Chain A
């Protein structure tokens, strides 16, 4: 059994673990998201009440995090696809760092408006 655990935590293993964790986080978020949005089918008042709760700073911060989790899982998913197709195998490490760089860039671009509204609510 212990011999199974002999692999070292290199780039590929870290990418794999992060993919699993981000996937689990998104799988946990999806049912909540579907349930919350179901309120729009009930009445405008109920929907607006739920949305005003979600406008609290804590949920804004979580949404910024969510955007990052989505980006990592999406971009690393593309990396996995390239590895599965063949040519990506040789460059899997480089591809991981590409995922990180592109991911951080898009996280900042998309996270900025969310952060602005987060700080507006804090004041």
Chain B
């Protein structure tokens, strides 16, 4: 009983966290594999054998790619940080430590979201 009470004190039912992790995971199955295949395999400049500004910027100026990469960014960050929170919740049960960790995760996620967004959305090739 003591064990059950200890775990119950760790928060709500966890249903929202559980469900959102499934939804973003399902989206990522398409977005991540698509991203990896196109941006890691096909975007490589075969002449020099690596990714170059030339080859990557060609996809990143495309509004469709911007949309897909933004969707990927949001899903990946949410899924990753939600996953970290799930793992931490398995081991950390002290109220104030949980709040501190959750705050760190939210701030970290937000910073990375901003950094990713300013990379993707306003991107255009310099003239000339």
Contact B60–A77 (Cβ < 8 Å): no
Known: A24-B87, A81-B22, A120-B49. A35 touches B115 (CB 8 A): yes
Contact A70–B32 (Cβ < 8 Å): yes
Contact B50–A55 (Cβ < 8 Å): yes
Known: A63-B40, A81-B25, A84-B22. A41 touches B119 (CB 8 A): yes
Which B residues are within 8 Å of any A CB, using their own CB?
22, 25-26, 28-29, 32-33, 36-37, 40-41, 44, 48-54, 56-57, 60, 73, 76-77, 80-81, 83-84, 87, 108, 112, 115-116, 118-119, 122-123, 126
A23-B87, A34-B73 provided; 9 other pairs, C-beta below 8 A? A38-B119, A40-B56, A41-B123, A44-B57, A44-B126, A67-B36, A67-B40, A70-B32, A77-B25
The interface residues of chain A lying within 8 Å CB-to-CB of B33 are 70, 74
Q: Is the interface of B mostly helix, strand, loop or mixed?
A: helix
Instruction: Give A30-68 as 1s and 0s: 1 = Cβ < 8 Å from B's Cβ atoms.
Output: 110011011011011001100110110000000100010
Interface bracket on A? 35 or more
